[in-house]
Structure 1
Amino acid sequence: MATSSQSSVEPGSNEVKDYICNACEDQNNVVTSADFYCKQCERLYCGNCIDPHGKALAKHTTFGRIEIDKWPVSKKVVDFLQICDVHKDHKIDQFCNLHKQLCCPQCVSDQHRYVLFSC
């Protein structure tokens, strides 16, 4: 998984912002939505930054938003999806077969003590 692919997650927010342009972030510390992913660079680019990239590295394979299924899933998104909705400081790591529900350790302690399977 590419470490440079990132989505921004606002602290204390349930909102996951879309992928951000790595070049804008590196050069100007600006959050700009990415429109392209370069497979060789493992980096994301907005519409303005993809042109210089394409001129300098013409043989690289880039994927636009229409092919977003070829973009890597960012670690921040994966981490965000693993956080318990009820207990924000815990990760989901178990499944309650009785309630058919994913659980964090605190959920287990509070409500799902008897019928659990670890993920």
Structure 2
Amino acid sequence: MATSAVSRDSDVVKCYCCTICEKERSVEVDADFYCKKCLAYFCRIYVFTPTDSMSHYGKDKIMEWPLPKKMENRLLQCDTHKYETLTMYCPDHSQLCCSRCVELNHR
């Protein structure tokens, strides 16, 4: 099971999924470590013996793992306009907005 990070309208976002399982097997498997050199997440199935040239981080250093692109896209998605990206900030409302929100509510 993948690590869930955000729940919005009962949609669970899978954060750190094994890169190989996701791409080659179309399955979301919880990643156990991240390799900085490969720029990929790996599960227990694809455990490898890291060489000196590899920089890998286990779950004990999960705060050093970069945010997956899937999660980044989800965090930048407008709650009101699902297919719009948050691109602006309204200081009057202290709110992040997409271009449609600005057009409709933040003039």
Same fold (TM over 0.5): yes
Map of 1:51-62 to 2, 5 A cutoff?
A: 53-54=48-49, 57-59=50-52, 60-62=54-56
| Alignment length (residue pairs) | 99
Identical-pair percentage: 38
Equivalent position of 1:94 in the other structure:
88
Cα displacement string for residues 64-112 of structure 1 (whole angstroms, at most 9, x for unaligned residues)? 1110122122222211111100110111111111111111111112211
Map of 1:67-106 to 2, 5 A cutoff?
A: 67-106=61-100
- Looking at structure 2, the residues matched to 109 and 16 of structure 1 have their Cα atoms a distance apart, in angstroms, of 29
SS at match of 1:44: strand
Unaligned runs of 5+ in 2: none
Q: TM-score, normalised by structure 2?
A: 0.77
Higher relative CO (Cα under 8 Å, sequence separation at least 6) belongs to 1
Equivalent position of 1:31 in the other structure:
28
- Looking at structure 2, the residues matched to 68 and 75 of structure 1 have their Cα atoms a distance apart, in angstroms, of 16
Q: TM-score, normalised by structure 1?
A: 0.70
SS at match of 1:15: strand
Q: RMSD in angstroms over aligned alpha carbons?
A: 2.2
Unaligned runs of 5+ in 1: 1-6, 114-119
Code of the aligned partner of 2:56: T
How much does 1:30 deviate? 2.6
Is this contact kept in 1: 2:18–2:41, CA < 8 A? yes
> Which runs of structure 1 show a deviation greater than 3 angstroms over 4 or more consecutive aligned residues?
25-29
